[in-house]
Structure 1
């Protein structure tokens, strides 16, 4: 599957995106922030009480999610229609089923590894919504999402020699093509089993595009090794194209594994959505990437002094990408597009706002106007180990399954 046309298309959108801070719908006074912070603290305290109660029995999941919906509405200003999409029974059940099936597949997986995989499963469940499909756990959602802790973590690990990564990548590609076996170690045997799980749902002879999309993300992952110091150092333009292809190909594969077939318009939208997710991840991982020497648009030495402008451009880029969500299911795409836009922009605001080492104070101060929680409060909460809204959900799932 050739993705260069997508890279060219979204590179043009990126280059034409403004580097000025965009307008935001909501601003929050200091008094409003304090009120929301008090509510969030109350809720996290109640969450700890629910966990203690769960040690003696089962947590009241309905009570938990009623509270979660209330907090997301009162703190983060999610509309009732949006909350119904992201906290309905089907989404909750799909998450619980994923956790159970992941544990059943490999009991040695850590909670952090399952959370890493579950993040991708949530994206795929969201794509089911956008395509008008029932929201549920499928064999391919489980298998593809679990490939992340097995394959990506090895390719990203700086302690693993380059030669070992290259040999592993070749074996993995042969396995994806159905022309070879993985190694005999537990990691590679698990990968082979997950690929077979996908093939059972989508046979190669009937779903060529599904398997081409898997090869496309594998190719993108292999090329991304250059961002981690493998091979010739990439230029600034290559950093952009490699990063775009890694993010875009991932969600494109998500889409094919959810639906089997995609229209050209939806394929392009999913690819752009994946790029925006990758950019937001890169901003959130900035400190870690700098420490590890991983190159992204944000960690590259030549871009270090223009982080505010790059972050502004990321906001504008995402808004341009989300305009194409209209190619998805009518009635759902508009509301779910609001959820995606609000969620990613909140992550971007808070990721930049909490990175005091890398973003100038005046820029962080401007961003803080649009954050419902103050950055000092969020920094203190992080030090105390208070859960984020996503970790609240995963912690609950861990308790009730």
Structure 2
């Protein structure tokens, strides 16, 4: 059995040390794309977009055809390997996703499309972990419950209509429920949250799997601690803000791992710690401006009034490179997962620059753009063109919810 708090504290110190050692200069060796290469990528993307738009313009879009077009674009134009394609588009992954959507709306028909999508982001990480660890890919009761917990708790904690004391009172009651006590819910949303805990208990008996519940209490504690960031006048140091963020991210994905496997060994725990911590850093980097506007003072957002994010993004890049090397050392045979992680992290870092250009220097933006396969002006021109696709997806999801459509 892992003594989670002590082991996690040791990993936290190692992770912070890695961050502090990361260079803050732009990586000169990173591949660049010349103008001709960018135009070729853009032509391929325009072709894909025309095919998809044509399908969406029909009265009843063929979802199989849309999926096949997407697969072809990823494989033929973006050069994803067959193994990587299998991880993204496997039938098991798609079936588990559809099963989750159906069960989620059965559990609560008032969940919004945004809530469902937020829950899916966590579900896909857990399904990916099932595949990575050689488990059957499916939406288990625990995966469904844990994926839904955080739209509910996030909505409650982020609500402007609930004061801080009420939020802290909820956090105390939720901690008691996670610890196994029977607690009376004080609202409908709280009742649903407690029902989700019962769903996890139906799969993992507390006496047999105590570490599962220890991990759930750890992420809950990390989320409660993160309330300290919701203060524009926060006196937290950069290191304290960074520590709160990585603890929240790490404990979240560690809980994912326990709900997938039931128990973890030290290598699995270490891998999940770094995976979750780094995902949180990427998330905070992308959301820095939104967080600042909402008064959430993360390591990235709190620095916006004083400096650009150039150096912090470079450190984020090198930290991801270090984590990628750790994956290669821990799991040398998982080549498809390694490649997918590398691609995903690279895309998210470039997206952070494109989406938040006011927060980077002009020179940095120009340098970053040379390493992107598309011109930023091209991506910007497609924003309006891509907007209707979201509406189509929402309509398809709503039709599925109302049983008007069979996927």
* Deviation at residue 143 of structure 1 after TM alignment: 0.6
Alignment TM-score, normalising by the size of structure 2 = 0.90
- Show structure 1 runs of 5+ residues with no match: none
| Counterpart for residue 47 of structure 1 | 52
Is 2:374 the partner of 1:373?
Answer: yes
- Equivalent runs, 1:2-41 vs 2, <5 Å: 2=5, 3-22=8-27, 26-41=31-46
Q: Is the 8 A contact 1:27 1:370 kept in 2?
A: yes
- Report the equivalent of 1:317: 319
Q: CA RMSD in A?
A: 2.6
Equivalenced residue count is: 396
User: Which aligned pairs between 1:322-333 and structure 2 lie closer than 5 A?
Assistant: 322-326=324-328, 331=333, 333=334
Residues 309 and 174 of structure 1: is their aligned pair in 2 closer, same or farther, counting only changes over 3 Å? same
In 2: Cα distance, 1:227 partner to 1:106 partner: 31
Matched residue of 1:206: which SS? coil
Taking structure 1 as the reference length, the TM-score comes to 0.91
For 2:66 and 2:332, how far apart are their aligned partners in 1? 31
Judged with a 3 Å threshold, the aligned counterparts in structure 2 of structure 1 residues 317 and 42 are, in CA distance, closer, same or farther, namely same
CA contact (8 A) 2:234 2:297 kept: no
Name the residue aligned to 1:363: 364
Deviates more, 1:28-37 or 1:267-276: 28-37
Q: Is the 8 A contact 1:265 1:327 kept in 2?
A: no
Q: Deviations over 1:57-77 (max 9, x none)?
A: x7342x322211222234433
Judge conservation of contact 1:162–1:230 (CA < 8 Å) in 2.
no
Task: Go from structure 1 to structure 2 and tell me whether the alpha carbon gap of 1:280 and 1:362 turns closer, same or farther (over 3 Å shift).
Answer: same
For CA contacts below 8 A with separation 6 or more, give which structure has more relative contact order. 1
Instruction: State which of 108, 116, 119 in structure 2 corresponds to 1:117.
Output: 119
Q: How big is the shift at 1:106?
A: 0.9
Shift of 1:35: 2.7
2:62 match: 59
Q: Is the 8 A contact 2:113 2:397 kept in 1?
A: no
- Output aligned runs, 1:76-115, within 5 Å: 76-115=78-117
Q: Which shows bigger deviation, 147-156 or 192-201?
A: 147-156
Separation (CA, whole Å) in 1 of partners of 2:128 and 2:272: 11
Alpha-carbon distance in 1 for matches of 2:392, 2:32: 25
